[in-house]
Amino acid sequence: MQASDVKTVAATEKTTQLIYDIDFKQPIAIIMGSEHRGINPSVLKIVDFKAKLPLLGSIDSLNVSVACGAFLYETIRQRIP
């Protein structure tokens, strides 16, 4: 994907960068991890961006389907003229 100029963004809590800091208007692939293991560390090393959702309180992470929905919503929100 990267060789075809498609940027990659990993949805991970292991970053300080928020989802709102990513430009989702460009061709981009969103990488989601498994429910219990997340994204493999070797994949995290090669992605173009890492982003997390802002969470309040004592919540550490979300169900992967919920997190994916939030990432897709932000992608569409940015692409609406």
| Average pLDDT of span 20-46 | 94
Q: What was the pLDDT predicted at 47?
A: 97
Percent of the chain with pLDDT over 90: 75
pLDDT of residue 61 exceeding 80: no
DSSP states of the chain: -GGGT-EEEEE-SSSS-BGGGS-TTSSEEEE--BTTTBS-HHHHTT-SEEEB----TT-----HHHHHHHHHHHHHHHH--
The pTM for the full model equals 0.89
Domain 2-79 classified CATH 3.40.50.300?
Answer: no
Domain ranges of the chain: 2-79
Q: What was the pLDDT predicted at 56?
A: 87
